[in-house]
Amino acid sequence: MKLALQLAYRNLVGAGLRTWLNVGVLTFAFLMIIFLNGILDGWNHQAKTDTIAWEYGNGHLLNEKYDPYDPFSIQDGHGILSEENKENLSPILLQQGSIYPEGRMVSILLKGIEVNQKTLKIPTTNFKENASAIPAIIGVNMATSTNLKIGDQVLLRWRDKNGMFDAKNIIIVDVFKTNVPTVDHGQVWIPITHLWEMTGLENHATYFVANEKFKPKAIKQWNYVSQKELLHDLDEIISMKKSSSSILYLLLLAIALLAVFDTQVLSIFRRQKEIGTYVALGMTRSQVVGLFTIEGTMYSLFATVIGCIIGVPLFWYLSKTGMAFPTSSQDMGIAMADRIYPVYGISLILGTVALVVISATIVSFLPARKIAKLNPVEALKGKIQ
Amino acid sequence: MKTETIISLENVTKRFPVGEGEFTALDHINLTFTKGEFSGLVGPSGSGKTTLLNIIGSLDVPTEGKATVIGHDIASLSHKASAKLRNHHIGFIFQVFNLLPVYTVFENVEFPLLLQNKTASERKKAVMEALDWIGLADYAKKKPNKLSGGEGQRVAIARAMVKRPEILIADEPTANLDAANAHSILKMMKKLNRELGTTFIFSTHDEKVMTYLERIIHLRDGKVELDERIKNKNQAS
Ligand SMILES: Nc1ncnc2c1ncn2[C@@H]1O[C@H](COP(=O)(O)OP(=O)(O)OP(=O)(O)O)[C@@H](O)[C@H]1O
Ligand SMILES: [Mg+2]
């Protein structure tokens, strides 16, 4: 084994350009796989962190009549949670409404939130009371689509508890920037006390956001959905993106492996006399098969080494400075920052090394098997077709 | 000098399938070689010289008959056992030198010792000694493509002899060399034959080679035509 490694190393280094071309394509494939997966992992990580910070908290306690996937359930999907169960929970009340920026009607989701909550990053401390209007905050995306700025007032209409329309002005007291479209797009945040008053639903909540100290327990008429369950959808979207991008890099890897395969086939054909010489000098045929296989494997080992030399500083730099992406988070439907900080985990790197090395070994072994059937006398004559 | 049989061939026959039928390349060859012999196979092209050398070198097996080399029945050896026999006991020299192109002279000569798992210091000592025999100690770091034909064949001799094999098989070793180089390597081989007691078996068309041989076996159509022991002018030199 040690001998075969030593010989394979000499043969590859001695072969010069041909070796470095193969190593080059393998290195490229190797780096691409890590690069793309690192971005997706970084995005995933960021999307999760952001979504937890802005929306999910440590989990949601949902009113049993409220179904997050059914907007019609907002009407009746709320209730009062008994005082002793409210520990470590902060209430959110949802209501449908509409606003009239520049005279056109825009349907919105009204979200009542406690002014002094600390669980979510929604900047509720910026709710400043105003004599003439209800203080409201919106996200940048909402602000852009409705053309609203801080200080603007706009008419809000909603239905009260009896189903009657009521209207009042809201004043935009803050516009926050977030990567999480589901707390921004089409949403208006107001203090929950105002919403209680407006709708007559004193102390009602559609759901509660749990903080870290929250201990889930069974509460009648309320369902607890843990952070992990909430993140499930996000995981699915990312893993879908992963499998679609894997087609790209598997194709790349296939091209690189084809180059190795090709070199091996050609090499076995061109180096017949050498193979015959090895056998004449006392190598067994399986040793020669091993030698050629290891030569192929060694392309991938060289690629790993060169990949590390290029990749370690490059990926380290990228993971520190992040990468800008032109697509906005709204287009993606899930949280996506302007800048993604790729995450290059140890399992990603080791997994990729294993993938490249094992696949290179297999494609080297397949043509090398032919050597075992080779007649050394014919090989020495260089006669094999 | 005691005459110990090192190779014995009994009715060795080799047939190759050709089209529908068979071609008999070797036809009931009966020969024995004793330790330290300096002999050669001569005969026209196609007479079976290479085929016979390949069987003696355990690169090939007879179709019929029995070839015994250093106590081993060639036909019954496993791949592994025949590789071991070649690695330890049989050296080969070819018409085209078959040096490994990416290795230096040193590494080429070292190769059989690597297969024998010798330590680095043992290898170095043996390789330098072998390079001394052929007078190319200064060429250790050169690559084969930088060598002239004569130098290339000398390196091939060093590679074949470095492990001090019992048998050295040389298939037309001078065919690609000019007269001066041919004489030079023949003298070298003769010297090694005397000093190390190695049994040499040549195949050749070359008159120059024949002047060094102690025994000439004439082959024709796969049969031994004449087996003569001769006194040659170069034998003592
Ligand atoms: N694998 C094979 N298949 C068919 N015929 C073969 C094979 N190997 C050798 N022969 C035939 O056997 C005969 C003897 O070949 P061999 O190579 O031993 O001759 P040779 O005496 O070494 O000739 P040369 O002087 O040209 O080297 C030739 O006629 C050759 O064509
Ligand atoms: Mg021949």
What ipTM was estimated for this complex?
A: 0.93
Cβ neighbourhood burial of A156 (10 Å; 0-12, 13-18, 19+) = buried
Tokens 């026999």 belong to B85
- Domain boundaries, position B63: 5-236
Instruction: Confirm if A340 and A50 have CB atoms less than 8 A apart.
Output: no
Interchain CB distance below 8 Å, A282 and B80: no
Which positions ≥6 away from A149 have C-beta within 8 Å? A143, A172, A175
The CATH number assigned to the domain holding B95 equals 3.40.50.300
Q: CA A352 from chain center: how many Å? A: 18
What does pLDDT average to over chain A?
Answer: 88
Rounded Cα distance, A26 and B20, in Å: 48
For a ligand 1 pocket test, name from B12, B29, B41, B51 the mutation site with the most ligand atoms within 8 angstroms of its C-beta. B51
Q: Do A284 and B80 touch (CB under 8 A)?
A: yes
Q: How far apart are CA A281 and CA B103, in angstroms?
A: 15
Distance from the A260 Cα atom to the nearest Cα atom in chain B, whole angstroms: 19
Q: Which residues contact A87 (CB under 8 A, 6 or more apart)?
A: A214
Q: Quick check: B235 pLDDT over 70?
A: no
Angle between helix A285-321 and A17-51 (nearest 10): 40
- Spatial CB neighbours of A385, under 8 Å, sequence gap ≥ 6: none
Identify residues whose C-beta is under 5 A from ligand 2, the ion: B 50
Percentage with pLDDT > 70 across chain B:
97
Of A118, A109, A99, A106, residue with least CA distance to A66: A109
The pLDDT value given to residue B50 = 95
DSSP single-letter state for residue A333: S
Side chain identity, residue A193:
T
Question: Which letter does DSSP use for residue B102 in this model?
Answer: T
Ligand 1 and B46: CB distance under 6 A: yes
For residue range A288-312, list pLDDT tens digits in order: 999 999 998 988 999 999 999 998 9
Judged by CB atoms closer than 8 Å, whether chains meet at B112 and A281 is answered as yes
pLDDT-derived band at A327 (thresholds 50, 70, 90) equals low
- B164 CB within 8 Å of a chain A CB: no
A29 neighbors A94 (Cβ within 8 angstroms):
no
Q: To the nearest whole angstrom, how far is the Cα of A274 from the nearest Cα of chain B?
A: 7
Task: Tell whether pTM > 0.90.
Answer: no
Is pLDDT of A329 > 60? no
pLDDT at A385 over 90: no
A121: left (phi > 0), else alpha (psi -120 to 50), else beta?
Answer: alpha
Check: CB of residue A299 under 8 Å from CB of residue A19. Answer: yes
Strand order in the sheet with B21-34: B21-34, B5-18, B64-69, B72-73
Checking if the pLDDT of A277 tops 60, the result is: yes
pLDDT the model gives residue B237 = 46
Tell me the mean pLDDT in the region B49-68: 95
One DSSP character per residue, A104-128 reads --EEEEEEEE-TT--SS-S-GGG--
In total, how many domains does chain B have? 1
What percent of chain B stands above pLDDT 90?
A: 86
Residue B107 Cα, gap to closest chain A Cα (Å): 10
List the structure tokens of B84.
């071991």
Does B18 sit in the ligand 1 pocket, CB within 6 Å? yes
B25 lines ligand 1 (CB under 6 A): yes
Confirm or reject: Cβ of B50 under 6 Å from ligand 1: yes
> Residue B122, by phi and psi: left (phi above 0), alpha (psi -120 to 50) or beta?
alpha
Cβ contact B29:B145 at 8 Å: no
Query: Given CB atoms, is A285 within the 8 Å cutoff of chain B?
Result: yes
* Contact check, Cβ <8 Å, B84/A282: yes
